[in-house]
């Protein structure tokens, strides 16, 4: 398996912006934007 990169705030913001631009896209429909924000929050707490 490849190296994993933790979700950071910048990446989560990009994902959320993309989901906001197109609410019908797979990212928005699956709730990935919300999960990305939650992961970024967790990763900031770990630092």
- Does the residue 3 lie in any domain? no
**Ordered DSSP codes for 3-47:** PP----HHHHHHHHHHHHH-TTSHHHHHTHHHHHHHHHHHHHHH-
Q: What is the per-residue pLDDT for 45?
A: 86
pLDDT score, position 28: 92
Give the count of domains, the chain: 1
Domain membership flag for residue 25: yes
State the 10-residue block means of pLDDT for the chain, 47 residues long.
Answer: 88 96 94 96 86
What's residue 8's pLDDT? 96
What pLDDT sits at residue 41?
A: 96
Predicted pLDDT of residue 16: 96
- Tell me, yes or no, whether 30 lies in a domain: yes
């Amino acid at each position: 398996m490849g190296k994993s990169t933790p979700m950071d705030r910048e990446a989560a913001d990009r994902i959320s912006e993309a989901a906001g631009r197109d609410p019908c896209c797979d990212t928005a429909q699956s709730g990935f934007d919300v999960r990305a924000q939650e992961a970024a929050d967790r990763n900031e707490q770990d630092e």
